[in-house]
A and B are shown apart, each in its own frame.
Chain A
Amino acid sequence: MSVDISTVKRVAHLARIAVTEDDAARMTGQLNTILGFVEQLNEVNVDGVEPMTSVTPMAMKKRADVVDDGEKAADIVANAPIHEENFFVVPKVVE
């Protein structure tokens, strides 16, 4: 499978990365090189093989459903580019 420039632009938008026409053209070539490389996986017979879900054979650990952390809103917003009164500030999203 290979991608064309319009697919690259669509994927860039899905990934929320702005691309110029030049970027998209360059990425199309590079992505196709990589997709060409991974193509060989289709040779492998995977009949009856389960997809891996966990690399170590272990049951998912579960913790008690209790609050054991919190009350640190100031810590959480401290690194935000813009914050006010413990809220993240973003451009207006509703008209």
Chain B
Amino acid sequence: MTDLTALTIAEAREQLKAKAITATELTGAYIQAIENANEALNAYIVTTPEKALQMAKASDARLASGNAGALEGIPLGIKDLFGTEGIHTQAASHILDGFKPHYESTVTANLWADGAVMLGKLNMDEFAMGSSNETSYYGPVKNPWRAKGSNADLVPGGSSGGSAAAVAARLCAGATATDTGGSIRQPAAFTGTVGIKPTYGRCSRWGVVAFASSLDQAGPIARDVRDAAILLKSMASVDAKDTTSVDIAVPDYESAIGKPLAGLKIGIPKEYRVDGMPEEIEKLWQQGIAWLKDAGASIVDISLPHTKYALPAYYIVAPAEASSNLARYDGVRYGLRVPGKDIVDMYERTRATGFGEEVKRRIMIGTYVLSAGYYDAYYLQAQKVRNLIKKDFENVFHAGVDAILTPATPSAAFGIADQDMAADPVKMYLNDIFTVTVNMAGLPGIAVPAGLDARGLPLGLQLIGRPFDEETLFQTAYVIEQAAGKFNAPKWW
């Protein structure tokens, strides 16, 4: 029998429907693959094989009785940020030690309602703060990709590094992820997978551990554009428990795939050509432009003048919101408690022990910029700049641009324990330079693999769309995928 983990979600769906395979067989193949690979890759923090087989058995019963859901029997990995009832949910942090929620996040509940099977919880940067998956309390995830002729371990990107690595290494058919400044798209680009951050409000944030509430959005990481469309359709919903979730019907994203690009106007923003960007990234971008032009789209040069201010504004807004959201981890209601001489001492010791370096750094920045006397200079200024960033996008969309094409990241995957980045936090933050604008403006963005660099490492392109126009992103990304082909990491693990 062929390796069942090689099937895309769309292919598995057909075979399950045709009764050529069973959900139990498919799930069993993934459980085995995880068992063989996880020690090397560290993509999963916790696996739930018994629950997976139980869910698969129920899926097989529904498939047999003709009551199959849209994701019936499809085995998925879930980022540790999503609350999963009775199962490890710690945002890869020490401070949430032992936390098992008595509720299920809306996004995962939607997936289970459609028949998906849970394989386990995926590693990530602690509280989704990081671009390399190295801030996890559970240790770094290794990228399934290595440079040609090299044994050096590379990062999978972050914060959804476990999700991206698991999808790339075929340790799940698809994965949930979240994106606050690039945490879906950057790891997707680093691992040759497809990741979409939908419009703010498209997926409910309820039951997802909060980082920066005005920026956080859930989305899928998948092996190809079609699979990403299938997953987002299930994940997205309006939800009374998240007042920022939007009451707009969820379209059938899959039906956008294969539509011709004639009549579409694609904008190319000159501000995304940054100093020190490798020539290969520029070449990839030009290649992407050529592919879209060949497919009938018209290409226009555009300007988004406030682009360079998105990352500094983000590093005020996101830590400010994080410092507030993470105030709840106090050693009283859940997770870790380190005793102290009085209650304040207990809070301070608990938080000093429970949070990692990067999380502390961001809480400190957030506390500082919100403190008396600094609020106007930092936070208010950043929120004004944020409006200007959003206005830049509104202007080009108003001028008739349907989507914007940019590189996804300024480089390919870098090494684990990179010295430069360890020494200077801002160097690490620069990974998100092309993705963070999208969160600041609440727009949808998709990263799609577009080629390999000279060392054989995947590179991605990003498409940015109008609010709630994910369909155009799937339509356009599919054209890039068709032209570029798909990229699989040679197996070494």
Contact = CB atoms under 8 A, between A and B. Distances in A.
A27 B365 CA distance: 10
A51 B384 contact: yes
Contacts of B440: 55
B441 interface: yes
Interface centre among A12, A17, A19 (most CB of B within 10 A): A17
- On chain A, which size bracket covers the interface? 35 or more
Contacts of B344: 16
Nearest to A88: B332
Contact of A40 (B312, B323, B360): B312
B378 to A, nearest CB: 7
Given A18-B349, A33-B426, A50 B312 contact: no
A41 B102 contact: no
Given A31-B365, A41-B381, A79-B100, A58 B360 contact: no
Contacts of B380: 51
A14 B469 CA distance: 42
B258 interface: no
Nearest to A10: B371
A55 B390 contact: yes
A49 B368 CA distance: 24
B382 A41 contact: yes
A41 B363 contact: no
Given A3-B368, A16-B330, A46-B381, A56 B199 contact: yes
B399 interface: no
A77 B363 CA distance: 26
Chain A contact residues: over half helix, strand or loop, or mixed?
loop
A79 B371 contact: no
Interface centre among A13, A15, A72, A78 (most CB of B within 10 A): A15
B424 A33 contact: yes
B182 to A, nearest CB: 16
Interface string B379-392: 01111111110100
Interface string A47-85: 001111111101011010000000010011011111000
Contact of B102 (A13, A17, A60, A78): A78
Given A51-B380, A55-B441, A38 B316 contact: yes
B337 interface: yes
B337 A30 contact: no
A16 B347 contact: yes
Contacts of A49: 384, 387-388
Contacts of B244: 56, 58
Contact of B333 (A53, A88, A92): A88
The 4 A-B pairs of least Cβ separation, nearest first, read A55-B442, A51-B383, A81-B337, A18-B348
9 contacts: A3-B368, A15-B323, A15-B364, A34-B365, A38-B316, A52-B386, A58-B246, A60-B243, A90-B332
Interface of A: 1, 3, 7-8, 11-19, 27, 30-31, 33-35, 37-42, 44, 46, 49-56, 58, 60-61, 63, 72, 75-76, 78-82, 88, 90-93
